[in-house]
């Protein structure tokens, strides 16, 4: 959606997109990065900046969508405690990685020419989750990481407002994705029952539309917007 509206998009990921044909666009560039490796993140940001200079474009924002899901109860049925490495890795990807990429990008955003009547420099969008509000059983690590994203949003907006940078987060509910495509019919039906309206999983286009709205609405700042079809996660899986 961003590319179709004229944006240049730098994709930072550990694997290239599956629909690699889209990379043929002169306005899309892929940089391999391990979000848990500060050196890798820094190099990808610098490569992106070099690309903006080549194209004579200006960096205007970052969308932090890297994340992993993790499942594990604090104590399992045999009373074995949750593996601490799983908790740490979840935080490394979902929280540390998001924060690291944001701080490095904002260093550049703060120096770009200001735009519009508000003298804005750019925007940060992070991805939280409905689990930040109602974590389900086995989601202690995941909910903690997504709750951290939600909690960082306002103080980061306050820190970066001085530099003309807005910060918002999106907390998606149940969306069509590579992860949910693997659900059984029974599991899908159980999740659909939690939806208020519409009674279906969210579509990627609807997430993209929310991103576009945040970019184009200057007064939206310091907010975490739920995108969930009115669903509230239940206390059971």
Among 40, 168, 150, smallest CA distance to 94 is for 150
Determine phi and psi for 225, rounding to 5 degrees. -95, 125
* N-term to C-term CA, the chain: 33
Residue 43: its H or E element: helix 38-55
142 class by beta-carbon count within 10 Å (0-12 exposed, 13-18 middle, 19+ buried): buried
Q: DSSP states of 89-139 as a string? A: HHHIIIIIHHHHHHHHHHHHHTTSPPBTTTTB-EEEEEE--GGGTSPPTT-
Catalytic residue among 8, 133, 142, 162: 142
Active site annotation includes 162? no
Spatial distance between the Cα atoms of 145 and 142, rounded to a whole number of angstroms:
5
| Cβ-based neighbour number of residue 94 at 10 Å | 28
Among 187, 71, 74, 94, smallest CA distance to 146 is for 94
In sequence order, what are the beta bridge partners of 168?
125
Active site residues: 142
């Amino acid at each position: 959606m961003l590319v179709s509206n004229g944006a240049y998009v730098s994709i930072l990921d550990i694997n290239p997109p599956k629909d690699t044909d889209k990379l043929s666009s002169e306005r899309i560039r892929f940089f391999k990065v391990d979000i848990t490796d500060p050196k890798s993140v820094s190099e990808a940001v610098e490569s992106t900046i070099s690309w903006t200079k080549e194209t004579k474009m200006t960096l205007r924002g970052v969308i932090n969508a890297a994340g992993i899901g993790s499942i594990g109860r604090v104590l399992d049925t045999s009373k074995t405690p949750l593996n601490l490495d799983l908790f740490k890795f979840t935080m490394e990807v979902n929280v540390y990685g998001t924060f690291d990429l944001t701080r490095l990008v904002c260093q550049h955003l703060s120096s770009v020419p200001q735009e519009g009547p508000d003298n804005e420099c750019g925007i940060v969008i992070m991805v939280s989750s409905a689990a930040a509000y109602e974590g389900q059983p086995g989601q202690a690590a995941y909910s903690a990481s997504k709750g951290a994203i939600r909690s960082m949003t306002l103080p980061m907006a306050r820190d970066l407002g001085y530099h003309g940078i807005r910060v918002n987060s999106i907390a998606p509910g149940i969306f069509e994705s590579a992860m949910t495509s693997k659900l059984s019919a029974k599991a899908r039906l159980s999740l659909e029952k939690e939806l208020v309206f519409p009674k279906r999983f969210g579509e990627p286009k609807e997430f993209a539309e929310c991103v576009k709205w945040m970019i184009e609405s200057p007064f939206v700042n310091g907010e975490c917007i739920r995108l969930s079809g009115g669903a509230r996660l239940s206390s059971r899986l």
